Each structure stands twice: as structure tokens, then as C-alpha cells.
């Protein structure tokens, strides 16, 4: 791990010109003593770094020397952060690594790299069907988010009504293969399903974006609003413990195991907008699941069962 730190220290010096041991320690999350030993080790190894004592001093690369350890062009840096950025939304170590790499990039690359790292959030909890194809416009939208360019797009709502609008793209979310665009509009922040976007053009007009906008935070707010609408009714079930993961796939975050009973079954709470929505999800389970309450869900299951018997029972 020390070799990694030495490389990170060298890149940090390249980006900032002069650093103190305290700055290196804070950036790499080590002690000041460790940072000082690493700087001294670089110098002893023949790397052209030198200390400047006194007030305002620090460690610098001799004559502004540079390393091509990264070898990144601006386009390569942007591509790297577009790939790694989504992982950072679910993996704190990746987020930390990106933050350190941003600090090591040349100033001219840094803005695009930071924008690319924040352009996409991954949310693995499903809404709707799985295994959807990635919309063709995702790459163009990513580019618009990074370059801060307004987008003119045609959008079809749930009622299949098409409108043309110009938006400020703020970020993209990949929610279990379903993509969403978070954008600014004349009526404020809006969320668009990317697979409902038709003809689209990235303009040369600079997009506006709030200085304090945080895509992860805003997506959490969007999810909370949607999930409140999706969980208006809850039901309590009994199901075998081995089947709980399967049930969780069907109900996502609206599946909450409550307790394991002596008979090995688990009491679980699930939620959906209506009683019929819960019943439709459970009807195929047959006797594998027992609904304890509410009566409305039991009634819907009984209705579905009667309809199936009426249609398919031998005559």
C-alpha cells in the first residue's frame, strides 16, 4: 500500500505545485508523520522533490518537474470518470479514490472530470420490468450533463401526449436498467424517463445548474416521493424464510421482514398502492404465502382465485 501512497503523493504535488506534510496527510488520510516519511522517501529515491523550510514552505517538484504517471488526456479523464462515477454512488471506496484522482489531475482537466463523476447515479432497487435495453440517447445526455449544454427534446408522458421542451440536464440515474434524467425546466426541477425521450438535440447554449445541486441527494428525494405513492397500503404475510429474498425482489424496498416464528416462517410486511396490486403479486404463490391482514387483500385474492377456478376448472 505504501507504493500506492507514494504515487498518490507525487500526483498531488504535480497538481498543486507545493504541498505540506499536513496537506498530504489530510488528502491521503494518513498521519502527518507518515506523510513526512513518504515525502522524504521520494527524495531519497531520486525523485526531484525538495523541502522548503520556514513560513509558507512545503515540498515541491524541482523546477516544476512533472510525471506522466497518469498520461491522461482531457477526453480520457472524462471517459474514466464517466465509467467510475456511477460506482462511486454505491461504493464509498470508489468515491474516495475519485476524489483523490481529481486532486491529482491538471487544472484544465479537473472541471470536466468532476462533472463526469457526478453525472450518473446508480440505484439498483427495481421499478418496473428488468433487462431493458440501454436507450441510445444516454451517451449524448451524459455528454450534455458534463459539458453543461441545454438539450431540446421531444417527450411522451404516460398519457402518450408528446411535447417539445428545452431543459438543463443536471444528471442521469440508472435505476435497475431504467434510465432517468434529472433536469431543470421553466417550471423547476423535473424527472424524465429516458426511454420516453424521442428526438433529441444537444444545443450550444450553456445550461444552468444550481451551485449546491447534489444528484444523489436529489434522487433520494425523488425516490421518497414516488415510494410514498407506491406504498399507500401495507399487508402482513407469513412465508418460508428461504422465500423472503424472492419476495424482496418482487416488492423491493417495500418488503420488510418483521420476525421469524417458531415454525420457521417469517412475518413480513409488504406495501403497494392498492389491495389489488398486492394480491396480483401474491396470487401465483398459492399456499406458499399466508396473508394475515388486511381483509381487503384477502378479498382480492379470493376474487382472483374464483376467477381462475371459473375459467380453468375441469368441467
The answer to whether residue 225 sits within a structural domain is no
Q: Are 299 and 253 found together in one domain?
A: yes
Whole domain around residue 34: which residue ranges? 2-64
- Mean of pLDDT values over 280-306: 93
pLDDT at residue number 117: 52
Q: Please tell me the distance from the alpha carbon of residue 87 to that of residue 46, in angstroms, as a whole number.
A: 37
| Residues whose CB is less than 8 angstroms from the CB of residue 288 and which lie 6 or more positions away in sequence, other chains included | 239, 240, 243
CATH of the domain at 19: 1.10.10.10
* Range of weakest confidence among 51-55, 153-157, 204-208: 51-55
pLDDT per position as a tens digit, 8-41: 777 777 777 788 888 888 888 888 888 888 888 7
Residue 69, in any domain of the structure: no
Total number of domains constituting the chain: 4
- State the Cα–Cα distance between residues 315 and 309, nearest whole angstrom: 11
In a domain, 123, yes or no: no
Question: CATH code at 203?
Answer: 2.30.30
**H helix or E strand, kind and range, residue 103:** helix 92-104
Determine which helix (DSSP H) or strand (DSSP E) holds 224, and give its type and residue range.
helix 215-230
Is residue 101 included in any domain, yes or no?
yes
Position 56 confidence tier, pLDDT thresholds 50, 70, 90:
low
Q: What is the mean pLDDT of residues 260-287?
A: 92
Name the domain boundary from 153, 184, 213.
213
Pairing of β 120-123 and β 162-175: parallel
Residue at 222 is within a domain: no
Q: What is the CATH number of the domain that holds 282?
A: 3.30.70
Among the ranges given (44-48, 143-147, 285-289), the one the predictor scored with the smallest mean pLDDT: 44-48
Is residue 15, in this structure, part of any structural domain at all? yes
Q: Which of 21, 41, 64 is the last residue of a domain?
A: 64
- On whether both 250 and 180 belong to a single domain, the answer is no
292 Cβ neighbours under 8 A, 6+ residues apart: 235, 236, 237, 238, 267
- Asked if residue 203 is part of any domain, the answer here is yes
Average pLDDT over residues 180-199: 92
pLDDT digits (tens, 9 = 90+) for 131-175: 456 788 888 998 898 888 999 999 998 888 999 999 999 988 887
Q: Strand 58-61's sheet: what is its strand order? A: 18-19, 58-61, 49-52
The answer to whether residue 56 sits within a structural domain is: yes
Q: Cα–Cα distance between 298 and 273 in angstroms, integer?
A: 16
Say if residue 195 is in the same domain as residue 143.
Answer: yes
Amino acid at each position: 500500500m505504501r507504493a500506492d501512497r507514494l504515487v498518490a503523493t507525487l500526483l498531488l504535488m504535480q497538481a498543486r505545485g507545493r504541498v505540506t506534510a499536513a496537506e498530504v496527510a489530510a488528502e491521503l488520510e494518513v498521519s502527518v508523520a507518515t506523510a513526512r516519511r513518504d515525502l522524504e522517501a521520494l527524495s531519497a529515491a531520486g525523485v526531484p522533490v525538495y523541502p522548503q523550510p520556514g513560513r509558507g514552505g512545503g515540498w515541491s517538484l524541482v523546477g516544476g518537474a512533472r510525471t506522466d504517471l497518469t498520461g491522461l488526456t482531457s477526453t480520457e479523464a472524462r471517459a474514466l470518470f464517466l465509467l467510475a462515477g456511477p460506482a462511486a454512488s454505491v461504493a464509498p471506496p470508489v468515491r474516495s479514490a475519485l476524489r483523490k484522482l481529481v486532486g491529482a489531475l491538471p487544472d484544465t482537466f479537473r472541471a470536466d472530470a468532476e462533472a463526469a463523476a457526478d453525472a450518473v447515479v446508480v440505484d439498483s432497487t427495481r421499478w418496473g420490468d428488468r433487462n431493458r435495453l440501454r436507450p441510445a440517447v444516454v451517451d449524448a445526455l451524459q455528454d450534455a450533463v458534463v459539458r453543461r449544454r441545454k438539450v431540446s427534446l421531444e417527450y411522451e408522458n404516460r398519457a402518450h401526449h408528446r411535447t417539445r421542451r428545452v431543459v438543463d440536464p443536471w444528471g442521469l440515474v440508472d435505476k435497475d436498467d431504467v434510465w432517468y434524467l434529472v433536469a431543470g425546466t421553466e417550471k423547476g426541477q423535473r424527472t424524465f424517463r429516458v426511454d420516453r425521450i424521442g428526438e433529441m438535440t444537444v444545443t450550444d447554449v450553456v445550461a444552468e445548474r444550481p451551485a449546491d445541486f447534489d444528484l444523489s441527494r436529489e434522487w433520494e428525494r425523488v425516490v421518497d416521493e414516488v415510494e410514498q405513492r407506491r406504498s399507500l397500503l401495507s399487508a402482513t404475510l407469513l412465508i418460508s424464510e428461504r422465500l423472503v429474498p424472492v419476495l424482496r425482489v418482487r416488492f423491493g424496498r417495500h418488503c420488510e421482514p418483521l420476525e421469524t416464528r417458531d415454525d420457521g416462517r417469517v412475518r413480513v410486511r409488504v406495501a403497494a398502492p392498492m389491495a389489488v396490486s398486492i394480491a396480483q403479486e401474491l396470487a401465483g404463490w398459492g399456499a406458499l404465502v399466508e396473508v394475515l391482514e388486511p381483509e381487503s387483500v384477502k378479498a382480492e385474492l379470493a376474487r382472483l382465485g374464483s376467477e381462475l377456478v371459473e375459467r380453468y376448472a375441469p368441467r
